[in-house]
Structure formats: structure tokens, C-alpha cells
Amino acid sequence: MTDRHALPGSSDWRDWPVGTRAVVRRRLSPAEAAATGRRWTDVIGVVVAVDGAGVTLRRDPARRDSPGAGTEVRVAADDVAAARPLPPRPERRAPRAR
């Protein structure tokens, strides 16, 4: 039997070191699901804490001025549906001079 939290070809999310950039698909609570009409949501961020009870990510939005930028999200182990590490965010390039 395989662990539902482990993904083929990657380590279990419980083994990720702090600083790992990752995406975690989490199950929404019944209240969140009723309010949004969805059952799942993805949290993209950098791991700030991990233990057997869950993982905490600091949100890594596409833009720094996005709502929720830098906030921390705790995902309980029972709510993790899928998870995988991501490569580091690419460096932003300066605009080209014309």
C-alpha cells in the first residue's frame, strides 16, 4: 500500500526541508466549499514548517502586490490531497533598453 501523500518520483512532503518551494493541493472545509463551490484549492509557497500534523507554507504569489502575498498557510496532514516540490522562482530580469 502506498502513502496517499507521497508522489511517485518525489520525496514525501513530510521530508521536505524548510525553504523548499512547493505546491500543495488541499481539501477545503465544508464551509469553504459551500462558499466557493469548489472542493480543492492549491497553495503555492515556500515551506516554513513541516511535521506529522501538516505543513506551513509562506504564500508565493505571481506578483508581490497580490492579496495574501507572504502570508502563511497551515495545511493539516489530513487535508493534503497532493503535493510536489517546485523549482526555485526564476529571477526577474530588468527591462531591456530600447
By DSSP bridging, strand 80-85 and strand 21-27 are antiparallel
Domain regions of the chain by residue span? 13-85
Strand 72-76 and strand 54-59: the pairing is antiparallel
pLDDT digit string, tens, across residues 11-24:
589 999 999 999 99
pLDDT in tens, 55-65: 999 997 666 66
> What's the pTM?
0.73
Architecture in CATH for domain 13-85: Roll (2.30)
Q: Which residues contact residue 92 at a Cβ distance below 8 angstroms, ignoring those fewer than 6 apart?
A: none
